[in-house]
Amino acid sequence: MRVIGTAGHVDHGKSTLVKRLTGIDPDRLAEEKARQMTIDLGFAWLSLPNGETVGIIDVPGHRDFIENMLAGVGGIDLALLVIAADEGIMPQTREHLAILDLLGIHDGLIVLSKVDLVDDPDWLELVEADVRAVLVRTALAHAPILRVSAFNGQGINALIEQMTARLNQLPPRPNFHQPRLPIDRVFSVDGFGTVVTGTLSGGTLQVGDEVEVQPRCLRARVRGLQSYRQIVQIALPGSRVAVNLAGLEKSDLTRGDVITYPGQLPTTTRIDVLLRALHDLSSPIRHNMAVKFFSGALEAHARLRLLDCDTLVEGGRAWGQLEFDEPLPLGRGDRFILRRPSPAETLGGGQIVNPSPAKRWRRYQPQVIADLELLFVGTPAERLAQITNAPTPLKRPDLQRSSGYAAADLEAALQEALERGLVVQLSDDTYWAASAYQTALDKLSATVRVFHRAEPLRLGIPREQLRSHLGLKPALFNLLVSSHPGLRAEGALIRLHDHAIHFNDEQQARVNALMSQMSANPYSPPSLSDANALAGEDVVRALMEIGEIIQVSDDVIFSRAAYESQVQRILELIDQRGKVDAKQLRDHFNSSRKYVISLLEYLDSRGVTRRIGDDRVRGPRAP
């Protein structure tokens, strides 16, 4: 599906041409008909000789309505630049041409309209030469010039043939399964409710789909779809679409909002951009100036920060950051136009290179500029490495949305990035730049190392303490820990592989004194509080972490040897007798009920024994 846009001066006969091509008057407002001037976007469609239906957007030509023109021109495949043969190039035509160039609309036809009003062939040749001179620095420099009259039909068939041929040469609109519909009209229909229109890109929309409206974070359901007045169940990328939304009122929406699938288009208040200035600026673009920003159908106020210069002169190029007062739904690769708020003037435009930069960049930083250049002109694999160089890994759908690559292109770029070691694929099928992955591993081990230095008598840092300190989600944290070659997980503790607890002479003396007391009466040893008083809490905790002391309840501990011998003997007695109870074990170990009950409840919790009434039998995890 394709969309054609008409551009040109207000008096050059755009609307009349559209009506001649389609039979539809694109001027729908009473004021437009009264003034014979397109004020807002107009819409029509026609069937080409090859059977394809294409939409036509008729944009306003008057300078006063240039911002309405910007709301409709961004989604077109082919531009018709309409120039009246009796007037030639006008200032507004030049501005429209510059906007098409900045938006990357490289396919177009030059329509020399109203040729029925010109009797002098030399005049037509002169106008065409003037047009060629204006086009020479633009993407439409080699576009065909067609002489047409909407009044008597001259050249109309040739125009349709050229439109068909040009559209046939274009690659199909990609389907990323990530639809985006910038809203250019909102209205209500009796009996149906809220309806919006726009040019669909990125994927299909289907009746019944749950959608999200950004930047308002509103949810709705697609109740119905129309494309060129035909009811459809599925709307295809590249088509003009009317969407009947269930769950929203007309007052909830406005031009510039974007319909997409939930969670697919996050909003942003800052973007990195490559900016080009127009060739005929009245004054340079300056750092930190206030601008009006246009992309898709949205319009917003922004502050422009130039990163590699103080001023940008006519025809110049610069890297910049645009900062917005409110979140906007923007994506990598989106084209935009900047205008001066007052006096109104188009300044330039460009492309979004990064829709969510990590921070507000410092100016004149060579590495920042180099990273932006790589993100813009690098190979697909290098661009993926830049995109995935983020605080957290990206899942494949997010990577496709951020890169703008079709499925096959994304697969090829990923394979190259993986083979070159630029990107790593994690076990949960997410991708991360190798540099970001290594940085995360280094930060992980560095944090553990700092903990070891601060707490030498601790075997390791508690897992949750480490995760919370690093601010990582559990899934990513666990993945990093398990894949780090220098870390070991010891139960709920994380330590460096080569870390061990070492007691100094004074601490070792306390260890010896405590273990001597515990060996003297192994089944009725000192309580935990008594052990702490004798050897110190730090030493006792260290002995527990390295497994020399086993804590079975809040205040009951055993040496490892005493614990293991008791467990072995309890299981032997169960095997001999079929079961044992606390009284029998108390007598057997010449202990007390406190120690025996604490031990048995601990063994129950670990599955070594299982309680049946007052008796114990072998548990499911008994060795």
Q: Which residue range is the domain that position 597 belongs to?
A: 520-618
Coil, strand, or helix at residue 133? helix
343 prior amide bond cis, ω within 30: yes
- Residue 110 DSSP SS3: strand
Q: Over the range 330-352, which residues count as b (16 or more CB within 10 Å of their CB) and which as e?
A: bbbebbbbbbbeeeebbbbbbbb
Confidence band, pLDDT 50/70/90 cuts, at residue 8? low
What's the one-letter identity of residue 269?
Answer: T
Number of domains in the chain: 4
Q: Which of these, 135, 129, 122, lies nearest to 94 by C-alpha position?
A: 135
User: DSSP secondary-structure letter at 201?
Assistant: B
Last residue of a domain, one of 353, 368, 383: 368
* Domain-located, residue 458: no
**Secondary structure E strands in 179-239:** 180-182, 185-189, 193-199, 205-206, 210-214, 218-227, 230-232, 234-235
- Kindly state whether residue 474 falls inside one of the protein's structural domains: no
State the average pLDDT over residues 452-476: 93
CATH at residue 363: 2.40.30.10
Quick: pLDDT tens for 568-598.
Answer: 999 999 999 999 999 999 999 999 999 999 9
Q: What would the mean pLDDT of 166-194 be, rounded to a whole number?
A: 87
Residues 95 and 113 in one domain: yes
Rounded to whole angstroms, the Cα distance separating 394 from 388 reads 6
Give how far the C-alpha of residue 157 lies from the chain's centroid of Cα atoms, to the nearest Å: 45
Tokens describing residue 530:
């008594």
In a domain, 418, yes or no: no
Q: Which residue reads 């995760």 in tokens?
A: 467
How far, in Å, CA of 50 to CA of 198, rounded? 24
Write the pLDDT tens digit of every residue in 373-426.
Answer: 988 888 889 888 888 888 889 888 888 777 777 777 888 999 999 999 999 998
d(CA 178, CA 388): 19
- Separation CA 42–CA 56 (nearest Å): 8
Q: Are residues 189 and 292 in the same domain?
A: no
Domain CATH for 558: 1.10.10.10
Residues comprising the chain, all counted: 623
- Examine the fold and report which residue of 260, 293, 313 is the final residue of a domain before the chain moves on: 260
Q: What is the pLDDT of residue 69?
A: 64
Is 284 part of any domain?
Answer: yes
Give the pLDDT band of residue 68 (cuts 50, 70, 90).
low
184 and 160 in one domain? no
Q: Are residues 142 and 196 in the same domain?
A: no
**Would you say residue 537 lies in a domain?**
yes
pLDDT tier, 10 (very low <50, low <70, confident <90, very high otherwise): low
Distance of CA 387 to the CA centre of its chain: 10
C-alpha torsion angle, residues 179, 184, 188, 194 (rounded to 10): 20
Bridge partners of residue 322, in order along the sequence: 271, 304
pLDDT above 50 for 296: yes
List pLDDT tens digits, range 507-544.
999 999 999 999 999 999 999 999 999 999 999 999 99
| Same-domain pairing of 156 and 187 | no
* Residues 64, 85 within the same domain: yes
